[in-house]
């Protein structure tokens, strides 16, 4: 099996059958091309699996193939036992496949059809070709503020990483890594919407903080009511929380802020109109390091949830 992948241009590495750890070094993100050559050398591969590593898993190095490019694998995980349900934008997602499907729906795209492998834990590996132009995709684990992080329970394996190949048997879980796609299907190019999420973009210049509505006068020029002054204060407080949120809390704080302001909207619609809230929260999110496209989705989701919650409460 190892030599089959090498013949297709994909380097391989022997991995432990118990913990999946790599059994030889020299394949990391900063490895030089000459260090990587042995992972594509048929003689070296044959020696590994006919000698001390004859029972090893076949690991596929991602990131660089014999043509200088290679694979990027999107690893959709299942939650650990006892894990808390996902909330906010990801509410209702029960695993990494649900998260990826939600991202596809938000992009107006279909589920990506490509070479796929079911993992012993019930997850799914989706194999893609590294992009033909521009930088190669690296590795990421779960949700994060920068690409290639794309969401909770979704890992990305690119330059410096590896995955266990189909046909390997997990002794820890008593199951095989099994191909889930049609036999003729090979790793496909990354669809545009997914490439956009995986590839880091140039960080935008932080926009200036927009002026928040005055607490003394309403947008129409008359003296503000008590509700309008409270709404302006809530907006300013929300903006501050979003722009000062810690790295792992940014998306959650953004959703919570948009939801809260959506709930308050009817108390002071002239102050908390949707456009003002969106502009204020987006500017704060960009200053905190979030990406515009994802921030806008989170704001919209939180705002709509807040409006719905208020309506349900009023009923």
Residues of the chain above pLDDT 90, percent: 54
Strands 124-129 and 188-189: parallel
What CA–CA distance (Å, rounded) separates 164 from 13? 9
Q: For residue 146, what is the DSSP state?
A: S
Give the residue extent of every domain in the chain: 2-198, 226-314
Residues of the chain above pLDDT 70, percent: 90
pLDDT in tens, 124-159: 999 999 998 888 999 999 988 788 999 999 999 999
Tally of CA atoms within 13 A in the half-sphere of 205 that contains its CB:
2
Locate the DSSP E strands across the chain: 12-15, 57-62, 71-76, 116-118, 124-129, 140-141, 154-157, 161-164, 169-170, 175-176, 178-179, 188-189
pLDDT at 208 over 60: no
Both tokens of residue 115?
Answer: 């070479």
Which pTM value belongs to this model?
A: 0.65
pLDDT in tens, 225-273: 888 888 888 898 999 999 888 877 888 999 999 999 999 999 989 889 9
CB 94 within 8 A of CB 79: yes
Torsion of CA 295, 97, 9, 22, to 10 degrees: 90
pLDDT at residue 222, as a whole number: 54
């Amino acid at each position: 099996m190892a030599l089959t992948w090498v013949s297709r241009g994909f380097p391989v590495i022997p991995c432990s059958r118990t913990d999946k750890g790599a059994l030889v070094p020299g394949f990391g993100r900063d490895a030089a091309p000459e260090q990587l050559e042995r992972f594509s050398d048929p003689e070296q591969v044959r020696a590994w699996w006919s000698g001390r590593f004859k029972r090893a898993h076949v690991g596929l190095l991602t990131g660089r193939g014999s043509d200088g490019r290679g694979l990027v694998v999107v690893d959709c995980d299942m939650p650990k036992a006892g894990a808390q349900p996902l909330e906010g934008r990801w509410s209702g997602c029960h695993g990494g496949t649900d998260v990826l499907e939600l991202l596809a729906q938000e992009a107006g795209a279909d589920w990506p059809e490509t070479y796929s492998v079911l993992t012993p834990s019930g997850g799914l590996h989706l194999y893609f070709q590294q992009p033909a132009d521009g930088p190669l995709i690296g590795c990421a684990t779960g949700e994060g503020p920068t690409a290639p992080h794309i969401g909770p329970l979704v890992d990305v394996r690119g330059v410096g990483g590896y995955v266990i190949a189909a046909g390997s048997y997990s002794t820890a879980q008593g199951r095989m890594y099994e191909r889930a796609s049609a036999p003729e299907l090979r790793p496909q190019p990354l669809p545009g919407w997914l490439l956009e999420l995986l590839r880091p973009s140039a960080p935008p210049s932080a926009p200036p903080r927009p002026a928040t509505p005055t607490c003394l006068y309403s947008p129409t020029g008359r003296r503000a009511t008590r509700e309008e002054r409270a709404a302006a204060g809530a907006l300013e407080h929300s903006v501050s929380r979003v722009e000062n949120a810690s790295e792992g809390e940014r998306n959650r704080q953004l959703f919570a802020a948009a939801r809260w302001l959506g709930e308050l909207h009817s108390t002071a619609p002239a102050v908390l109109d949707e456009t003002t809230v969106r502009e204020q929260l987006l500017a704060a999110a960009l200053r905190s390091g979030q990406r515009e496209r994802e921030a806008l989705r989170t704001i919209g989701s939180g705002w709509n949830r807040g409006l719905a919650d208020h309506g349900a409460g009023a009923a």
